[in-house]
């Protein structure tokens, strides 16, 4: 599934999660780029060859973007409206670039943070444990016996 090796810590000391995520670096070595583009994750680290196949941040970063960016941008817009009362066109000029730019940056950082934390905590999708095959004795149905009486 992954290239994670329990001996990683001998070769690669743990990297700080938040600064690694802010820089968009590899969760193992902290040097190679985690992203191939703005938001697309690379196949593997160019520095330590760690495969990023384990990466599955899912919808997690989106939740943080909605909460953080929504709070900051809407809070700022409400504050500016009530304190300075600018014309409406200024709202249309001011908030959409901030919304998309800040949202993209928060999305990239939270995605990197979740991938780094996923690697450091060896987190993966939950699996159901299969019970061992047991030979349970058949339980006789005693309700039919009572009905016969
Ligand atoms: Zn690396």
Residue 99: domain span: 8-124
Q: Is 147 among the domain residues? A: no
6 and 17 Cβ atoms separated by less than 8 Å? no
With 0.85 as the threshold, say if the pTM is over it: no
* DSSP track, 64-115: HHHHHHHHHHHHHHHHHHHHH---HHHHHHHHHHHHHHHHHHHHHHHHHHHH
CA of 44 to the centre of ligand 1 (A): 8
Residue 146 in domain: no
Q: Is residue 70 part of a domain?
A: yes
Q: How far is the CA of 68 from the centre of ligand 1 (A)?
A: 29
Number of domains in the chain: 1
For residue 49, tell me if it sits in a domain: yes
- In this predicted model, what pLDDT tens digit does every residue of 70-127 receive, in sequence order? 999 999 999 999 999 999 999 999 999 999 999 999 999 999 999 999 999 888 777 7
Tell me how far the alpha carbon of residue 61 lies from the centroid of ligand 1, in angstroms: 22
């Amino acid at each position: 599934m992954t290239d994670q090796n329990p001996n990683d810590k001998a070769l690669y000391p743990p990297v700080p999660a938040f600064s690694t995520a802010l820089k968009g670096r590899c969760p193992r070595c902290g040097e190679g780029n985690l992203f191939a583009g703005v938001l697309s994750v690379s196949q593997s680290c160019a520095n330590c060859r760690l495969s990023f196949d384990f990466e599955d941040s899912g919808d997690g970063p989106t939740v943080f973007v909605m909460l953080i960016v929504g709070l900051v941008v809407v809070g700022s817009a409400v504050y500016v409206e009530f304190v300075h009362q600018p014309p409406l066109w200024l709202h249309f000029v001011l908030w959409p670039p901030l919304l998309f730019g800040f949202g993209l940056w928060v999305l990239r950082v939270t995605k990197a943070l979740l991938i780094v934390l996923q690697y450091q905590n060896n987190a993966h999708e939950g699996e159901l444990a299969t019970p061992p095959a047991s030979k349970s004795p058949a339980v006789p149905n005693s309700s039919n016996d009572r009905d016969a009486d």
